């Protein structure tokens, strides 16, 4: 339900970019180019890259999963009920077998789920799951998840790729992975009878192979442009200008209606950055309207808030910062703070900003560099993996509630600048049963974390894909990534 509401929020539009050539797939396979490193094919860690999430979700089912539009659908659990005022979720497991042929049972599934949850400790996703009190076996094929307080987004959380259930180190599908050479891999749907399920007579005619190629963004776009890819996945702000280099006519480039964090994270607090007012000066100096204008994408709006106003539990009591001030007025105030710092005889060295490669990152850096220069701060760009004073963050939300944003900026996750008081308010909200009381506590937490000035919001994230006309199994998603199994099913 949350996914439906989010999909209607925000004025995102289809980019009308196109390609005239036809796909050059082989043997009926759907050719998919993924912007990302080939290491995603064998990724086993709990913290997954976006590319690795695609592989994990395709090969390691959880209790539930996502369809192509980001809606929760059955996976290992074929049905569930919610009881005890939202504090108990009871799942009935489907018929089937683990990879070794043993029947899927509640005890082994519950053990796998507990292990997946434990592996996420210390991460933002682990905080999202913190209200889980116990995973219990109720019957041979029935699992109950008890919560300390209601978690309306629990099903969406359980559908995350990181919550896939391993058995003896292996996943249960629904797809089998065959690694290839030079960043290539193929994924095939496993016949139902090989998973201990009822045979589907039409399966051989409906299932198609996905031929994946993990590659650099420019190469992925070139594969599509030259007709060697039917789908391109993994587009973000840093790569969106690449889409504009394609020939124009009918609309193959799509934007997902995501929310999340896109901005600069403070990574160090020595010297000038050690003062919250100075960190705020950097946030005030950035002309967000001018920055987004460089991209010329209709409907992409700037923001100064750390929480999206579109989340379901936003009370509307916290608005955009510095309302009524023009960009010039904000920069004048920021310049005064910088001058005061330097006037006290203190040094302000050039600040390093870590960013990913890509023309979109260049657009962001150039605007930030120019704006900060106007207030007396010099910056240089360094590679994404380098240590830096500030880092460009681009993360799409996993669910549409304020807790996602606040957990991303918690002291558990962000060590440089955080708000212990804000974390306390979030913890209190997690225990609150009343929705209004919970929302009020989250608003207090947002105010505290905002005042710490550890994150400089710029806008919503952008997530884009390229999909050839007539391709089935793809839909715009509020979560910004696209499960592979729906792409492998041909329509009846």
Q: In the chain, what are the domain boundaries?
A: 13-59+174-257+466-492, 61-172, 260-459
Tens-place pLDDT, residues 290-336: 999 999 998 899 999 999 998 988 998 999 999 999 999 999 999 99
User: Cis before residue 478, ω within 30 degrees of 0?
Assistant: no
User: Is there a shared CATH topology between the 13-59+174-257+466-492 domain and the 61-172 domain?
Assistant: no
Residue range 260-459 in CATH 3.30.70.260: no
The CATH number, out of the four listed (3.40.190, 1.10.3470, 3.40.720, 3.10.350), of the domain defined by the range 13-59+174-257+466-492: 3.40.190
Give the confidence band of 21 by pLDDT, cuts at 50, 70, 90. very low
**Percentage above 70 pLDDT, the chain:** 93
Which residue has tokens 């002309």? 287
Section 401-423 average pLDDT: 96
Question: What pLDDT score was predicted for residue 170?
Answer: 92
Just give the CATH number of 61-172: 3.90.76.10
230, two tokens: 């039917």
369 by Cβ neighbours in 10 Å (0-12 / 13-18 / 19+) ranks as middle
CB contact at 8 A, 338 and 281: yes
H or E element that contains 253: strand 253-255
- Summarize the confidence of residues 80-104 as an average pLDDT: 95
The three-class DSSP label of residue 300 is: coil
Q: Are 279 and 317 in contact (CB under 8 A)?
A: no
Nearest-angstrom CA–CA distance, 471 and 492: 14
Weakest-pLDDT range from 16-20, 90-94, 309-313: 16-20
Q: Where are the alpha helices (DSSP H) in 286-413?
A: 288-293, 327-343, 359-374, 402-408
Name the band, by pLDDT with cuts 50, 70 and 90, for residue 5. very low
* Helix extents (H) in 120-215: 124-128, 154-158, 203-206
Please check the confidence at residue 6 and state whether its pLDDT lies above 70.
Answer: no
pLDDT (tens digit per residue) in 244-293 = 754 333 478 999 999 999 999 999 999 999 999 999 999 999 999 999 99
Summarised one tens digit per residue, pLDDT across range 348-371 is 999 999 999 999 999 999 999 999
Q: Angle at which helices 276-285 and 327-343 pack, to 10 degrees?
A: 140
């Amino acid at each position: 339900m949350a996914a439906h509401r989010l999909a209607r929020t925000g004025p995102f539009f289809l980019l009308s970019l196109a390609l005239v050539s036809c796909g050059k797939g082989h043997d009926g396979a759907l050719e998919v180019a993924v912007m990302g490193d080939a290491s995603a094919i064998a990724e086993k860690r709990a913290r997954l890259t976006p590319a690795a999430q695609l592989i994990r979700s395709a090969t390691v089912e959880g209790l539930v999963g996502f369809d192509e539009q980001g809606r929760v659908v059955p996976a290992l659990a074929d049905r569930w009920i919610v009881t005890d005022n939202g504090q108990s979720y009871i799942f009935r497991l489907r018929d089937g077998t683990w990879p070794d042929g043993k029947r899927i049972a509640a005890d082994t599934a519950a053990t796998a789920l507990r292990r997946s949850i434990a592996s996420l400790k210390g991460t933002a996703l682990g905080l999202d799951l913190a209200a889980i009190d116990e995973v219990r076996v109720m019957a041979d094929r029935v699992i109950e998840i008890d919560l300390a307080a209601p978690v309306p987004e629990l099903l969406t959380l359980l559908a995350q790729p990181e919550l896939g259930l391993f058995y003896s180190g292996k996943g249960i599908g629904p797809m089998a992975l065959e690694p290839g050479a030079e960043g290539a891999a193929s994924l095939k749907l496993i016949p139902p009878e090989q998973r201990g399920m009822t045979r589907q007579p039409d399966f051989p005619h409906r299932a198609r192979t996905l031929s994946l190629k993990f590659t650099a963004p420019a190469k992925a776009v070139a594969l599509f442009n030259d007709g060697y890819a039917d789908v391109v996945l993994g587009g973000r702000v840093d790569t969106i200008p690449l889409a504009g280099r394609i020939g124009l006519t009918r609309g193959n480039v799509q934007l997902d209606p995501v929310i999340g964090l896109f901005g600069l994270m403070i990574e160090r607090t020595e010297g000038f950055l050690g003062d919250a007012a100075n960190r705020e000066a950097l946030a005030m100096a950035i002309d967000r309207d001018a920055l987004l204008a460089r991209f010329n994408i209709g409907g992409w709006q700037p923001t100064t808030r750390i929480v999206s106003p579109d989340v379901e539990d936003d009370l509307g009591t916290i608005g955009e910062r510095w309302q009524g001030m023009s960009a010039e007025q904000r920069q004048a105030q920021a310049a005064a703070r910088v001058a005061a710092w330097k006037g006290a005889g203190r040094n302000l060295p050039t600040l390093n900003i870590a960013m990913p490669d890509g023309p979109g990152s260049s657009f962001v850096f150039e605007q930030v560099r120019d704006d900060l220069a106007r207030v007396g701060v010099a910056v240089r760009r360094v590679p994404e993996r380098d240590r830096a004073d500030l880092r460009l963050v681009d993360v799409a939300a996993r669910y549409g509630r304020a807790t996602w944003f606040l957990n991303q900026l918690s002291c558990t996750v962000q060590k440089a600048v955080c708000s212990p008081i804000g974390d306390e308010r979030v913890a209190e909200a997690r225990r609150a049963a009343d929705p209004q009381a919970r929302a009020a506590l989250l608003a207090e937490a947002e105010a505290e974390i905002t005042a710490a000035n550890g994150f400089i919001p710029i806008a919503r994230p952008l997530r884009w894909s390229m999909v050839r006309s007539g391709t089935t199994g793809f839909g715009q998603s509020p979560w910004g990534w696209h499960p592979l199994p729906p792409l492998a099913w041909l329509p009846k």
